[in-house]
Amino acid sequence: MTVKISVYSDYVCPFCFLAKQPLYEVLKEKDDINIEWIPLEQPMQSPLYPEDRLQLWREIVYPLAQKMGVSIILPNVQPYPSSRLASEGYYFARENGKADEYNDRLMHAFFGEQQNIGQINVLTRLAADIGLDKQAYREALEQRLYKNIHNKALHDAYNETGVTRTPLLVIGCTKVAGIQSKEEIECLIEQERKPKKKKISLLMSGQSCGPNGCQ
């Protein structure tokens, strides 16, 4: 039985970046898992001031990354970019068979290289890095060719799936917010394989980001 995992994530959410590792570890050992990545930029109603963001990283992000063995850098990008255009560009990458490569390249560019992924010039260069047509990608962003597709995905995420924070994993009929360990993901997968009523439940655990900030 193939289990589908939908992952709602934001390219500028540090916990989304960290959440990739345990998912990839599960994928290495299981070939009956289907993962769908869904970009979802958070409408930050209470954006963090630089000093607050630094405190968050010192107290939570860096210690967690060290524990997980993941290299991550607080991007020195001001103002903190929106991931709207990056998210629209995802659908171009998916249409051209580069969805996973696109996600990895953008997140590493932001959290590993401190590149401003809110700028079209930067996004276009990163798309070319993974073999996408540079000119076609740029035109897609400038003309907002995937705006409606992305808006529909956002509408479904908020109103049908009930996404309020990222990262959020939907594993079968279970929603779980925040970073999950490899063992926790495997446990949820095995639970999904068992016969049960198909009712979606929400489990809140792990660090995540929402409209009012990250925690």
What are the mean pLDDT values of the chain's consecutive 10-residue runs (215 residues total)? 90 95 89 89 63 90 95 91 96 97 97 97 98 98 97 94 90 89 91 66 62 60
Element at 64 (helix H, strand E): helix 62-68
Distance CA(137)–CA(141), nearest Å, equals 6
pLDDT of 203 reads 57
Query: Which structure tokens are listed for 15?
Result: 């916990």
pLDDT of 85 reads 97
pLDDT of 45 reads 45
pLDDT of 2 reads 82
Q: What does the domain layout of the chain look like in residue ranges? A: 3-214
Distance CA(141)–CA(87), nearest Å, equals 10
pTM: 0.88
- Structural contact between residues 153 and 90, judged by C-beta atoms closer than 8 angstroms: no
Task: Please name the residue ranges forming H helices in 76-171.
Answer: 84-95, 99-113, 120-129, 134-142, 147-156
The secondary structure of residue 43, as a DSSP letter, is -
Distance CA(186)–CA(168), nearest Å, equals 16
Which of the listed CATH numbers 2.30.40.10, 3.40.30.10, 1.10.8.50, 2.30.38.10 matches domain 3-214? 3.40.30.10
pLDDT of 198 reads 54
- Structural contact between residues 43 and 60, judged by C-beta atoms closer than 8 angstroms: no
- Structural contact between residues 39 and 200, judged by C-beta atoms closer than 8 angstroms: no
pLDDT of 121 reads 98
pLDDT of 147 reads 97
